Amino acid sequence: MTPITYGLIAAWAILVGYVLTLVNREKNLRREIAQIQAMLESGQASASAQPAPQN
């Protein structure tokens, strides 16, 4: 293999590394969205479980 080929492999490794960070960020985003959804749903459930105020 020539040095240029090694350079080519190194350049692709950097690009693949960047794609992996994007995939990781996507996973984190999905997890955080699921957490907030769960938080909102539990908030709604507790609000509906409370008795309505009597006047």
Residues forming contacts to other proteins in the complex (CB under 8 A) are 2-8, 10-12, 14-15, 18-19, 22, 25-26, 29, 32-33, 36, 39-40, 43
Two structure tokens written together for 45: 């459930």
- Phi/psi at 54 (5° precision): -100, 130
Two structure tokens written together for 2: 């020539």
Q: Choose between 1 and 54: whose C-beta lies nearer to other proteins.
A: 1
CB 22 → other proteins: shortest distance, Å?
6
CB 51 → other proteins: shortest distance, Å?
19
Other C-beta atoms lying within 10 Å of the C-beta of residue 7 = 10
